[in-house]
Amino acid sequence: MLRVLVFLVLSGFLSACAAEQTTNQANLGGKADDLVDAEGSLLLDGEEGDVESAPNLFELAYDVNLHHVVFPEDFDAPPYSYPSVSTGFSLGGTEFWQKFSGGQNPTFNYNEGTDYGRRCMYASSRRFEAIMSNPPEALKVLKANTNWNGSFFNWNDDYGQEDAWGDASSARLWAWRTTLVKWISQTSKDGSCYLPTLDMVQTLIVDCLDQAGVSFEVHSEADCVEAAGTPVDDNMCGEQAEEQVCCAMYNGDGEIQGCRAP
């Protein structure tokens, strides 16, 4: 019941953030809307003149709610660049798992990725930049009230060859260790790309708080401190009476290893 309550509270709390970040896509001049198909896949099609350069194409990966991105066949990946984020969250590494005969499992060298794989990993880095430049408040609460320090690691499952063992289906987020959450994109046989979304981050927050044994209760500030709790953003608890605070209570060891989304 508590898990459901926390999810409902966080869903309402993060919806405003999602709306704000979606609104911020207006600086794309309407191109993102023009290039979304009926299934919600983003068609990065340079042939019709909508987009003329690689930077503009990758700018469309900043749509934090878009899961599936489709690139033009001849669109090459640029050299890798890490996200530019100064909000306390970081994305390190370049980890490929190549799901085909002769593939490396893993390789941490970006230059050893396939053309399709590197293109998707680069787009995933841009997606991280979009979400973490204005991260959900609940993610900050997770970082402040568990043993996790805000670190992510860029991982790509690459099915981008005809002899691949299966095909891509979804991006994922996974706390490999409490100290490191894997930010996982997937490359399809056709070169399209599945990227983590804001909704996946929301799901991760709920699961990680539960895994760490953190719950939220309404108390007076004095009672919260006396119970060894920590006052947090009021939105984590929903409505509360005047002179009460939302209190993070610790019923576990603060470890988040194993939590995931979806």
Q: Pick from 64, 92, 201, 199: which is nearest to 141 by CA?
A: 201
pLDDT above 60: residue 27? no
Q: What is the pLDDT of residues 142-187, one digit of tens each?
A: 999 999 999 999 999 999 999 999 999 999 999 999 999 999 999 9
Amino acid 72: pLDDT: 80
Indicate the pLDDT class of residue 53, thresholds 50, 70 and 90. very low
Beta carbons of 186 and 156 less than 8 angstroms apart: yes
- For residues 118 and 115, give the distance between their C-alpha atoms in angstroms, rounded to a whole number: 5
pLDDT above 50: residue 50? no
Q: Cα–chain-centroid distance for residue 105?
A: 23
Percent of the chain with pLDDT over 70: 78
Amino acid 238: pLDDT: 79
Strand arrangement, sheet containing 214-220: 214-220, 244-250, 230-232
Amino acid 57: pLDDT: 65
Q: Which of 46-55, 131-140, 179-188, 193-202 has the lowest mean pLDDT?
A: 46-55
- pTM higher than 0.85: no
Amino acid 233: pLDDT: 84
Q: What is the pLDDT of residues 223-255, one digit of tens each?
A: 999 999 999 888 888 777 778 999 999 999 999
pLDDT above 60: residue 30? no
For range 78-85, the mean pLDDT: 94
- For residues 253 and 250, give the distance between their C-alpha atoms in angstroms, rounded to a whole number: 8
Q: Pick from 175, 178, 196, 185: which is nearest to 95 by CA?
A: 185
Amino acid 12: pLDDT: 52
Alpha carbon of 65 to those of 56, 172, 178, 193, 197: distances in Å?
Answer: 18, 14, 26, 14, 5
For range 68-92, the mean pLDDT: 91
Between 112 and 22, the more confident residue is 112
For range 95-118, the mean pLDDT: 96
- 243 sits in which H/E element: none
Amino acid 56: pLDDT: 62
Amino acid 95: pLDDT: 98
Q: What is the pLDDT of residues 113-146, one digit of tens each?
A: 999 999 999 999 999 999 999 999 999 999 999 9
Q: Which of 7-11, 21-25, 125-129, 187-191 has the lowest mean pLDDT?
A: 21-25
For residue 193, count other CB atoms closer than 10 A to its CB: 31
- Average pLDDT over the chain reads 82
pLDDT above 60: residue 55? no
